[in-house]
Amino acid sequence: MGTPSLDGTANGSDEERLDRILAVTREVLRDPGVAADDDLADHGGTSLSILRIVAMANRALHLDIDPRELDGAVTARNLARAARPLG
Amino acid sequence: MSRAATTRTFPAALADLADAVRQLEGLTAQVGPFALYPDACDREPELVAALCRALEVPLTFDAPARDRDFALVGLAAEIRRAQRAPELAGLCAEDAAEQARRLRQEENTRYRTHAVHRPDGSVITVVDAGPPDAPCVLVSPPCALSYRLSLPWLTALGSAYRCLVIQTRGTSERIAEPEVFDQRGHDVVHQVDDLLAVAEEVATGPVHLMGICGGAAVALAAAAWRPDRVSSLSLWHADLELGEEAQKTDHQINLRAMLDLAGESRDTAAWLRGKLTSGPMTGVPERIGPLVVRPYATAELFYRYARLTAATMHWDSRQTAVKVDRPCLVVTSDDDDTAHPAGSRRLAEIIPGARLVSADHGNHLDAFRATPGQVACLTSFLAR
């Protein structure tokens, strides 16, 4: 079974987006063991490191993430779900 | 009831609330009237408003609730907490305001303020405490942070030492034309020149330089370049660049990356600030939170904080550390997870004859606490 899609449906682009966000997350947290549904706080994530992920997603992936749309625990999946392509 | 009798009954909670308001005086001095959310003074709106007027801190409590800005929440946290003290209930706002004025007057007598005018037009604010003819300790704090964070040191040293705290250029005077900040410059060289100008114009004789956190890079360079103005040096929980020779914490890496980005332009700073403050800010300490959050209060302040601090974080302090020939004390703690203790340890190896003191425990903000142990450590070093 592959990685679940962001919205629960088989959607390749969503999976790709999640993979990219996850890669950025692992790089910023310097932790290759972060999984898509892990609470980033459990891996040392702070508002500063999450901001850096948001900034890198903007610059490198051309995705805009509005932190206001993050509900509950911050995970790579939630970040990818909140991400919108830059206009 | 007479005014004198009323004064005697004022609770300590009022001084606490006055301090909470004054934590924002540096902010309003730079940006003018500043709006916080109404819930910051939900229990005692009249009392808080009266204190703001009395202390000349023009805060309003009418920020629109839509798209909540969590920097405003952090800035208001101490007022919100302090105004909830049960002892404040029923106090006459006018009498409380009069008492707050007296408290401010007493504090301003204890802590004198000087303005040092620099050739480029910058006005450097310096806060001064202790006997004017006593040996002088000049504090170089982290960029853009209020002198009020250093008050515990001023209080602790004030009986035997004259203690000066410099405010970083561009972070205390009223902002009229924002771009003037860029035209005047904000590199480490500028900051060192400001520190040396304070040592020359305000202090009498060589000073003990005390570099705290990011202020250590500036203090170190000043000691290396003008040893005639510096009698000795102490560096507390230093956050500086030593190349590959010293490990950094995640916080140091992430902060520098964020500041590099924010310092690109005012637009980028505004964008980044919007993202940062759209959710709760982690790591904001109790009691002094507004002082720590202040650099994030507006996009312009954030931009300035980024430019000034990134300059110190990129400055390679190895080049100045090897040139220091003054007695030097380096203080850190083994579990400082903000500025990695490896930096202080390496610094103590590089600076000729430096003495390293590393506590088993202590967080980064302990550098501002002036605990009895820290004060004894510094005064015994100064008395050597």
Evaluate whether residue A40 is within a structural domain.
Answer: yes
Evaluate whether residue A61 is within a structural domain.
Answer: yes
Best A25, A48, A50, A68 member to test B by mutation, with max B CBs in 10 Å, is A48
Which chain A residue shows the shortest CA-CA distance from B276? A51
Q: What is the Cα–Cα distance from B79 to A40, expressed in whole angstroms? A: 31
> Cβ(B285)–Cβ(B292) under 8 Å?
yes
B180 in contact with chain A, both atoms CB, cutoff 8 A: no
The whole-number pLDDT of residue A47 equals: 86
Query: Hey, CA dihedral for B249, B253, B255, B256, is it positive or negative?
Result: positive
CATH number for A47: 1.10.1200.10
Evaluate whether residue A7 is within a structural domain.
Answer: no
Evaluate whether residue A8 is within a structural domain.
Answer: no
* Radius of gyration of the CA atoms of chain B, in A: 21
Which chain A residue shows the shortest CA-CA distance from B282? A47
Nearest to A68 among B272, B279, B283 (CB): B279
Evaluate whether residue A43 is within a structural domain.
Answer: yes
The count of structural domains within chain A is 1
The range of the structural domain enclosing residue A44 comes to 14-85
Q: What angle do CA B229, B235, B238 make, to 5 degrees?
A: 130
> Cβ(B215)–Cβ(B138) under 8 Å?
no
Q: What is the Cα–Cα distance from B30 to B170, expressed in whole angstroms? A: 9
A30 in contact with chain B, both atoms CB, cutoff 8 A: yes
B65 in contact with chain A, both atoms CB, cutoff 8 A: no
Q: Tokens 């999984």 belong to which residue?
A: A35
Residue A63 bridge partners (DSSP):
A85
pLDDT of residue A5 exceeding 90, the answer is no
Nearest to B251 among A30, A48, A66 (CB): A48
Tell me which residue of B75, B132, B94, B81 sits closest to B7, measured CA to CA. Answer: B94
- Contact at CB, B275 and A51, closer than 8 angstroms: yes
Q: What is the ipTM of this complex?
A: 0.83
- Contact at CB, A48 and B255, closer than 8 angstroms: yes
Q: What is the Cα–Cα distance from B74 to B292, expressed in whole angstroms? A: 9
A3 pLDDT band, cuts 50/70/90, is very low
Evaluate whether residue A46 is within a structural domain.
Answer: yes
Which residues in chain B have Cβ-Cβ distances shorter than 8 Å to A50? Answer: 279
Evaluate whether residue A29 is within a structural domain.
Answer: yes
- Contact at CB, A55 and B258, closer than 8 angstroms: yes
Pairing of the two strands B34-35 and B328-333 = unpaired
B66 in contact with chain A, both atoms CB, cutoff 8 A: no
The whole-number pLDDT of residue B9 equals: 62
B270 in contact with chain A, both atoms CB, cutoff 8 A: no
Q: What is the pLDDT of residues A61-86, one digit of tens each?
A: 999 999 888 878 899 999 999 999 99
Pairing of the two strands B112-117 and B123-129 = antiparallel
Which chain A residue shows the shortest CA-CA distance from B271? A55
Instruction: Give the DSSP H or E segment for B123.
Output: strand B123-129
pTM for this model (two decimals): 0.93
- Contact at CB, A47 and B280, closer than 8 angstroms: yes
Which residues in chain B have Cβ-Cβ distances shorter than 8 Å to A54? Answer: 275
Evaluate whether residue A38 is within a structural domain.
Answer: yes
How far is residue B353 from each of residues B82, B231, B330, B358, measured CA to CA in Å?
46, 14, 11, 16
Q: What is the Cα–Cα distance from B214 to B236, expressed in whole angstroms? A: 9
Query: Hey, CA dihedral for B289, B295, B296, B298, is it positive or negative?
Result: positive
Best B250, B256, B265, B305 member to test A by mutation, with max A CBs in 10 Å, is B250
> Cβ(A61)–Cβ(A6) under 8 Å?
no
> Cβ(B270)–Cβ(B297) under 8 Å?
no
Name the residue type at position B27: L
The whole-number pLDDT of residue B4 equals: 42
Across the range A2-17, mean pLDDT stands at 56
- Contact at CB, A68 and B255, closer than 8 angstroms: no
Q: Exposure string (b/e) for B73-109, b if CB count within 10 Å is 16 or more?
A: bbbbbbbbbbbebeebeebebebbbbbbbebbeeeee
Which residues in chain B have Cβ-Cβ distances shorter than 8 Å to A65? Answer: 275
pLDDT tens over chain B, length 384 residues: 444 444 446 789 999 999 999 999 999 999 999 999 999 999 999 999 999 999 999 999 999 988 889 999 999 999 999 999 999 998 999 999 999 999 999 999 999 999 999 999 999 999 999 999 999 999 999 999 999 999 999 999 989 999 999 999 999 999 999 999 999 999 999 999 999 999 999 998 999 999 999 999 999 999 999 999 999 999 999 999 999 989 999 999 999 999 999 999 999 999 999 999 998 887 789 999 999 999 999 999 999 999 999 999 999 999 999 999 999 999 999 999 999 999 999 999 999 999 999 999 888 888 999 999 999 999 999 998
| Between A87 and B375, the higher pLDDT residue | B375
